[in-house]
Amino acid sequence: MSSFVALIAGLLFGLGLTVSGMINPAKVLGFLDVAGDWDPSLAFVMAAAIPVAAVGFAIARRHSAPLCAQAFSSPTATHVDWRLAVGVVLFGVGWGLAGYCPGPALASLFLGNPRVMVFVAAMLAGMAAFRFLAPRLFSASRDEKTTSTLSR
Amino acid sequence: MENFTPYSAIAGGLLIGLSAAVLWVANGRIAGISGIVGGLMSGAGGERLWRLAFLAGLLVAPVVYMVIEGEPSVTSNAGTATLILAGLLVGFGTRLGGGCTSGHGVCGIARLSPRSITATILFMAAAAVTVFVTRHVVGG
């Protein structure tokens, strides 16, 4: 059941990326080009998505567990540290270079554009490189900081 | 501003927000794409199926759109070297920084996470500076 829900959520997400224009690197770069012929459209994507997601999080707060799973899997890290700062700046530079962030790049894979396949292959290599380097860069295996049961 | 498309952007944003809400309320999982993909690599067995199902939906959705509405506009002029460098930075950076546009930018801000709000400001700024440099300083 939870996998069926995830499939539906993935479909909604992919449709959202496509309908909004997020899937188009030229449009993304036009949004990021504040000093040029700025296209602010994509600000409306976040402006619309955040309140809807916030309603979901608010509804969930009234429940002790998700509808189709055992527990909420909430990010455990709470403070801003250098890993976060360095990581998201590297991500931002990469996003600005090609106009692809992970969601739109993956969503474009079946549209038959060879450029996006090169990007996704490099992105997966970058993720694998992190997976390989993380235990060497950080003493304990802290690279999996994503999930643990949330006590709210 | 001739490419300004606020209505389709809002419609798409509503769908993305709905996806994030559904995945959290039903499954208790964050709709963060880099986290979903990265989690597949770390091999948490029981977490694998829903991640694959989400990604299947993500990849099929634009094809469904294409069948109904026609091919979406997807334009990229990036050369191969740029694409490889950009991909490596996005892959490594999102894992180090614990999220991307979806996990930090949508879900994290919706949760009012100070980490994600900081992250979103930083990656937006870094991306805008990168575009400024490549378009107006180097590429001018």
Q: Which helix (DSSP H) or strand (DSSP E) does residue A147 occupy?
A: none
- Judge whether B16 and B5 are in contact, CB under 8 Å: no
Residue A89 has pLDDT above 70, yes or no: yes
Q: Do B114 and A80 touch (CB under 8 A)?
A: yes
Q: What is the pLDDT of residues B101-110, one digit of tens each?
A: 999 999 999 9
Contact of A19 with B12, CB cutoff 8 Å? yes
Q: In this predicted structure, which of A24-28, A137-141, B133-137 has the lowest mean pLDDT? A: A137-141
Interchain contact B48–A (C-beta under 8 A): no
Q: What ipTM score was computed for the predicted complex, to two decimals?
A: 0.96
Residue A114's contacts (CB-CB under 8 Å, 6 or more residues apart) are none
Q: Which of A16, A47, A144 sits opposite B19 (nearest CB)?
A: A16
- pLDDT, tens digit (0-9, with 9 covering 90-100), for A5-35: 999 999 999 999 999 999 999 999 999 999 9
CA distance B131 to A30: 9
Alpha-carbon distance A137 to nearest alpha carbon in chain B (angstroms): 11
pLDDT greater than 60 at residue A145: no
Token reading at B92: 């490594």
d(CA A15, CA A95): 21
Which residue in the block uniquely carries the two structure tokens 């692809």? Answer: A100
**Whole-Å CA distances, A31 to B3, B18, B111, B132:** 10, 23, 24, 11
Chain A residues whose beta carbon lies within 8 Å of the beta carbon of residue B83: 98, 115, 118-119, 122
- Name the residue among A52, A91, A100 with its Cβ closest to that of B17: A52
Mean predicted lDDT score pLDDT of chain A: 91
| Nearest to A122, CA basis, from B78, B33, B81, B37 | B81
Interchain CB distance below 8 Å, B5 and A78:
no
